[in-house]
Amino acid sequence: MTWFWWVAGTVAAIGLLWLLLWAWYRRWLKAATERASRDSWIVSTPLGRVEYGQRGDGPVVLHFHGGSVGHNGWFFLEHLVRAGYRVLTPDRPGYLGTPIKNGGSPEQQADVAAALLDVLRIDRVAVVGVSAGGPAAVQFAARHPERTTALVLLSAVSQRTELSEDQLSSPLARLVMTRRFQNVAYFVINRTMHLMPALSMREWVKTATTYDPETGKKLIDEVLRDPAQKREVLAMSDAMVPALPRFDGVMNDVRVQQELGELPFSRVRAPALIVGSRNDGDIGFANSVNAEEKLPRSELIAVDQFGHLIWWGDPAVRRDFEARIESFLAERHRR
């Protein structure tokens, strides 16, 4: 009889724990969903519905966001808001309120953004492409040269790039590439990142950098000791949830990256500034070099930061390349 009550008590405790975890997850998902579109707008364009966010006031910077985030990833360009620009970030097709049926190719992504500019009555923009947003940024500059005053590429994809073995086989990758349980999986990832950021970032060392584990650990410690960088680490984690409304966009980015043909670099008339890390373990430094070699009027700034995530690492390095971006835009875009 004692054994029976012990088993019954254990089952009841497990059941109660499960209910508490489920309630925690449901509250988190509701809050994350509300936060994702709290400061965005949805408009109808001739090419379909588009969700977008914007920050700041002044000359418009059209931001093609990176993978897994959406308009919530605008904070990597916060320095431009402080410098007096209006950062406009449409959700690329497949992300949040912009359906993938709008068109997933870089050409279609560029034209959807142009259609949004028409609705918002914005004539000319500086274009910034981050990571997986790089191909669409280049296509926009090539297809709409009269609207493009300058092009900035940050850790941007510019050529066909296969995923690495770590990216394909890591636990994070397996979760990212599975539609089922997307929100639950990212709940675990998000909460782990907030509670144990150093442990979570070890996975990023393997997939986003070329550093060995020991060097990566030192860099993680450096990033997390800086309050501003730690806030961005957590902000990035929050910008990726809820995951399911971004799944179509993420998988489209993976397909585009692995099937990308030659981009129309020669048709880009605007001057370009490129920033890439020599330790980029995600898409590789070769993407930045390729863009610099093929864009007619371009300059490459090579850095040694947290690999693909060029904003993290030495704050002085970041301040330097952000100042150069601001100077570049001040000369080309404000005029």
Nearest to 310 by CA among 138, 40, 128, 108: 128
Residue 181 has a pLDDT of 83
Could you give the 3-state DSSP secondary structure of residue 127? strand
Locate the domains of the chain by residue range: 40-163+247-332
Residue 170 pLDDT: 63
Least confidently predicted of 15-24, 147-156, 300-309: 15-24
Based on the number of CB atoms within 10 Å of its own CB, is 201 exposed (0-12), middle (13-18) or buried (19 or more)? buried
**Residue recorded with tokens 């005029």:** 335
Residue closest to 249 by CA, chosen among 95, 77, 138? 95
- State residue 91's pLDDT score: 98
* Sign of the alpha-carbon torsion through 125, 127, 128, 133: positive
> What mean pLDDT is reported for the chain?
93
Confidence at residue 180, expressed as pLDDT on a 0 to 100 scale: 80
Kind and range of the H or E run holding 45: strand 40-45
What residues are paired with 150 via a beta bridge? 126
Give the list of residues 6+ apart from residue 64 with CB closer than 8 angstroms, or none: 90, 92, 109, 113, 127, 128, 129, 130, 133, 134, 136, 137, 140
23-32, 61-70, 115-124, 167-176: least confidently modelled range: 167-176
- The C-alpha atoms of residue 305 and residue 27 are separated, in whole angstroms, by 36
For residue 9, what pLDDT is reported? 60
Nearest to 273 by CA among 139, 98, 155, 187: 155
Quick check: helix, strand or coil at residue 232?
helix
- Asked if the bond preceding 271 is cis, omega within 30° of 0, the reply is no
22 pLDDT band, cuts 50/70/90, is confident
CB 298 within 8 A of CB 195: no
pLDDT at 6: 57
Burial of 169 (0-12, 13-18, 19+ CB in 10 A): exposed
State mean pLDDT over 265-282: 97
Contact 53, 60 (CB under 8 A): no
pLDDT tens-place string over residues 184-215: 989 999 999 999 999 999 989 999 999 999 99
- Our CA angle for 243, 90, 258, nearest 5°, is 65
Where b means 16+ CB within 10 Å and e means fewer, 229-252 reads: beebbebbbbbbbbbbbbbbbbbb
pLDDT one-digit tens code per residue, 91-133: 999 999 999 999 999 999 999 999 999 999 999 999 999 999 9
Percent of the chain clearing pLDDT 90 (strictly above): 84
pLDDT given at position 7: 54
**Amino acid symbol at 244:** L
Report the pLDDT averaged over residues 166-179: 67
The CATH superfamily assigned to 40-163+247-332 is Alpha/Beta hydrolase fold, catalytic domain (3.40.50.1820)
14 to 2, 10, 92: CA distances (angstroms): 18, 6, 42
Mean pLDDT lowest for which of 5-14, 56-65, 296-305? 5-14
Question: Is residue 274's pLDDT more than 90?
Answer: yes
If you average pLDDT over residues 143-167, what whole number do you get? 91
Which of the 8 DSSP states describes residue 214?
H
Residue with the larger pLDDT of the pair 264 and 103: 264
Residue 335 has pLDDT above 80, yes or no: no
> Could you tell me if 164 and 172 are in contact, meaning their C-beta atoms sit under 8 angstroms apart?
no
pLDDT of 63 reads: 98
Query: Using one digit for the tens of pLDDT, what is the confidence trace for 211-263?
Result: 999 999 999 999 999 999 999 999 999 999 999 999 999 999 999 999 999 99
Q: What is the pTM of this model?
A: 0.93
pLDDT, tens digit, 9 for 90 and up, residues 35-79: 999 999 999 999 999 999 999 999 999 999 999 999 999 999 999
